[in-house]
Amino acid sequence: METTYRICPRSGLQFEDQAEKLMRFHAVCGVLSLLVGGIMALGVILTRWPAVHLLPADIFYLVLTAHGVDMLIFWIIFFEMAVLIFASSTLLRCRIATPKIAWFSSWLMVVGAIMTNIAIFQGESSVMFTSYVPMQAKWHFYLGLILFAVGALLICFVFLGTLVVAKAENTYEGSIPLVTFGALTACIIAIFTIAGGAIILVPTFFWSIGYIREIDTLMYRVIWWSLGHSSQQINVSAHVAIWYAIAAIVFGAKPMSEKVSRTAYFLYILFLQLASAHHILSDPGMSSEWKIVNTSYFMYFAVFASMIHGMTVPGAIEQAQRLKGYNKGLFEWLRKAPWGNPAFSAMFLSLVGFGFLGGITGVMMGAEQLNMLIHNTIYVPGHFHATVVVGTTLAFMGLTYFLVPALFKREVMFPGFAKIQPYLYGLAMYIVSLVMMGAGTLGVSRRHWDMAFAGAPMAYEWPGAAYLMMGLTGIFGVVAIVGGAGWILQIVLSIFFGKKLEGGEQRSIPQVLTLPPPTPGGAAHPPATPGTLVLALVFLTAFILYYFVNWKYLSSLWGLS
């Protein structure tokens, strides 16, 4: 097939013509979705901030629906499709399989995203991200989601086809690179996610147009969460792959152990999707066996895998830094890391926040008994803002600082702002997640428009701390939105008006990916990583303390003794 390959003079990466255009297309669609979702975030946060309480109830639920769908589905999955194309065609140095199908699928995703947004903004589909039945949205809300999902599913098959092309055309030797393996994990979880979505959204669509009389509410919830939660597990696999990629790009770091990292991804493939069940832990009708097997026994394998990645990524960075001579004490390697490089700072903030805030709280919520403490409170959005916003979005933002020069051939504008942006956005989101979880622990509801329940016949008097934490959610939410809006503005302006960079050599035949020769000495005896070990022990201590504090809290609530 006739195509051309561009060798980027800055990164050495090889971009196939169609793959490069597709990546740009998906990155731009993702950023546009983030823009819509971000504007909606302002409406959500300024309404949940009790002192402001900006929007009336009907507009609030419309805005909340748009925020959830645009952020959790469209932004994330558009960007992930770009990651899949990058990890296959670019990293394996081959042409993309079936580019016409890839373009058709990409446009299908765009049509779906626009259709669902139209349904939401028309005002009769304010069913929120979860769209639980018997609440009914307009037909094009569901149809848009189905079209988007079909498009994403086809791109997953294009990704798998590209792996086949690379293998058949011998563009790499041995196993696929670890980052591509991480993308393969994301792709597999995406196929399960989209299939689960189809199983429930297709009948729901027919219900919305009157061909099906009713949808069982529990059936909907159980199957819908195989879409709703697993879609966020695609993120986990993708952002962990990006952590490895940024460690390699910024430090030249190699994984501490390919075997261990790949085994951890394998555990994701087998077990990560089962965490969906933690949304059903308080539902009657499902047995404790189903709940506990899904959210505890098997999910812990996936948690174990995340802890492995959380240790091997900083471990790989520590090894690379120590090989460069940063050997003083436990943490010289970390102190001398390029904290002014936004790709690194975003990645490291993502890693720490995902582990400490998102990971630990996710395990706590996955225990059936502890889940009762916080079920359907604002603790839940606190948790997933730590995983999806701090973990995934921040990692994606970090990668973009590398992609703008490499993929769009433009210099990133406003480098001074770029240095502080990950801190502004990331640390503000750390605080937002924490105070949301604090308010949730006090019982503040997950979605209610008015936490004061003004005018309700049975008023509830919240402790002052609940109002304080919701106020802090508002303040730091606005700071995070400023950081996110600044990033969007910076990236869009850079793409259109940034200084043009040299495109690099064009070739008609791909350059084969060859394995690097074994490094004498360094590879055989890699430096020890005591700093990472200390960080891991700090993490485990925090994990144990937080877990037992919650058991103590549960026992004090019930007064069992």
**Which residue's CB is nearer to other proteins, number 116 or number 273?**
273
**Which residue's CB is nearer to other proteins, number 213 or number 259?**
259
Total Cβ atoms within 10 A of residue 232: 21
Give Cα 234 distance to the centre of its chain.
7
Q: How far is the CB of 440 from other proteins (least distance, A)?
A: 25
Q: How far is the CB of 222 from other proteins (least distance, A)?
A: 5
**Which residue's CB is nearer to other proteins, number 302 or number 429?**
302
Total Cβ atoms within 10 A of residue 135: 13
Q: Which residues bind other proteins (CB under 8 A)?
A: 160, 163, 173-176, 181, 184-185, 188-189, 191-192, 195-196, 199, 216, 218-219, 222-223, 226, 230, 259, 262-263, 266, 269-271, 273-274, 276-277, 280, 285-287, 290, 293-294, 298, 515, 517-518
Tokens describing residue 352: 């720490």
Q: How far is the CB of 296 from other proteins (least distance, A)?
A: 12
**Which residue's CB is nearer to other proteins, number 170 or number 506?**
170
Tokens describing residue 529: 């990583």
6 pairs with which residues across the strands?
A: 15, 506
**Which residue's CB is nearer to other proteins, number 515 or number 538?**
515
Q: How far is the CB of 524 from other proteins (least distance, A)?
A: 14
Would you call the peptide bond into 203 cis, given omega within 30 degrees of 0 as the criterion? no
Which amino acid type is present at position 545? L
- How far is Cα 128 from Cα 139, in angstroms, rounded to an integer? 15
Q: Which residues contact 518 (CB under 8 A, 6 or more apart)?
A: 524
- How far is Cα 7 from Cα 411, in angstroms, rounded to an integer? 17
Q: What's phi and psi for 456, nearest 5 deg?
A: -75, 145
Q: How far is the CB of 232 from other proteins (least distance, A)?
A: 14
The answer to whether the CB of 539 falls within 8 A of the CB of 356 is yes
Measured torsion, CA atoms of residues 256, 261, 263, 265, in degrees rounded to the nearest 10 = 180
Tell me the CA end-to-end span of the chain in Å, nearest whole number: 74
- How far is Cα 252 from Cα 259, in angstroms, rounded to an integer? 19
Q: How far is the CB of 285 from other proteins (least distance, A)?
A: 5
**Which residue's CB is nearer to other proteins, number 89 or number 226?**
226
The answer to whether the CB of 273 falls within 8 A of the CB of 192 is yes
Q: What is the 3-state secondary structure (H, E, C) of 57-70?
A: HHHHHHHHHHHHHH
**Which residue's CB is nearer to other proteins, number 154 or number 269?**
269
Q: How far is the CB of 262 from other proteins (least distance, A)?
A: 5
Beta strands in 318-467 (DSSP E): none
Calculate the alpha carbon distances from 116 to 57, 65, 123, 215, 456 in Å.
Answer: 21, 10, 11, 20, 33
Token pair 């622990």: residue: 441
Q: How far is the CB of 358 from other proteins (least distance, A)?
A: 21
Sheet with 5-7, side-by-side order of all strands: 14-16, 5-7, 506-507
Nearest to 504 by CA among 154, 137, 11: 11
**Which residue's CB is nearer to other proteins, number 77 or number 274?**
274
Q: How far is the CB of 298 from other proteins (least distance, A)?
A: 7
Q: How many angstroms separate the most distant Cα atoms in the chain?
A: 76
Q: How far is the CB of 30 from other proteins (least distance, A)?
A: 24
Q: Which residues contact 125 (CB under 8 A, 6 or more apart)?
A: 65, 119, 137, 138, 141
Q: How far is the CB of 88 from other proteins (least distance, A)?
A: 11
The answer to whether the CB of 435 falls within 8 A of the CB of 384 is no
Would you call the peptide bond into 284 cis, given omega within 30 degrees of 0 as the criterion? no
500 pairs with which residues across the strands?
A: 410
**Which residue's CB is nearer to other proteins, number 162 or number 532?**
162
- How far is Cα 488 from Cα 503, in angstroms, rounded to an integer? 24
**Which residue's CB is nearer to other proteins, number 253 or number 277?**
277
**Which residue's CB is nearer to other proteins, number 506 or number 511?**
511
Q: How far is the CB of 286 from other proteins (least distance, A)?
A: 6
**Which residue's CB is nearer to other proteins, number 8 or number 189?**
189
**Which residue's CB is nearer to other proteins, number 230 or number 421?**
230
Q: How far is the CB of 162 from other proteins (least distance, A)?
A: 11
